[in-house]
Amino acid sequence: MRAFLCLLLLAAPAAAQELVFSPRASEACLAGAPDPAARLACAGRSAARCMADTPGGESTVGMGGCLSRELDLWDARLNAVYGQLMDEARRADADNAEYGGHAPSQAEALRDMQRAWIPFRDAKCAHARSLWGGGTGAGPAGVDCLMRTTAEQVIYLETSRMGG
C-alpha cells in the first residue's frame, strides 16, 4: 500500500505537466458576451474544459493546474488593460494640467484603486481557502477564487473607461 501511495504522489507532478489547456473556451465566450455580467460568466470556461480534457483533470492536482492556467490568462489580461488605462489616465492628467484644470489625478486614482484591490483579493481568497478547513480542496478553491476575482477586476477595468 505504501508503495502505491508513493507511486501516486510521484505521478501527480507528471499529470500536472500534461494539462490539456487552451484559452479558446474563455476567449470564445468573451467574444460573444454582450455585457459585463455575461463576460463574468466566461471566467472558468477554459479551466473547466481543461479539467474535462486532461486525464486526471478532476483530481486536486488537475483542478489546481487547470485553474492556475486560466488564472495566468486573466492575470495577463489584467496587466494589459491596466497598462492601457494608466497610459490613458496619464494623458488625461496631462491634458487637464495643460488647460489649467483642477480635476483629481486619474493616474493616481487608478494606481491607488489597484493597490487597494490586491490585498482585498488576497484576503478574499484566503477566506475561500479557509472554508475547506485545511482539506485538499483548499488549494483549488483558492486558485479558483484568485482566477474569478481577477476576472472580475479585468471586466471592471475594461468597462471603466468613460463612455466605454
DSSP states along 33-70: --SHHHHHTTTTHHHHHHHHHSTTTTSHHHHHHHHHHH
- 8 A C-beta contact, residue 84 and residue 77: no
Q: Could you read off the pLDDT of 80-110 as tens digits, one per residue?
A: 999 999 999 999 999 999 988 889 999 999 9
Mean of pLDDT over the chain: 89
pLDDT of residue 17: 55
What is the C-alpha to C-alpha distance for residues 133 and 30, in angstroms, rounded to an integer? 34
Q: Could you read off the pLDDT of 112-129 as tens digits, one per residue?
A: 999 999 999 999 999 999
Q: What is the pTM of this model?
A: 0.86
Q: Which cell is 23 given?
A: 484559452
Residues of the chain with pLDDT under 70: 1-17, 162-164
103: burial class by Cβ within 10 Å (0-12, 13-18, 19+)? exposed
Where are the chain's structural domains? 21-159
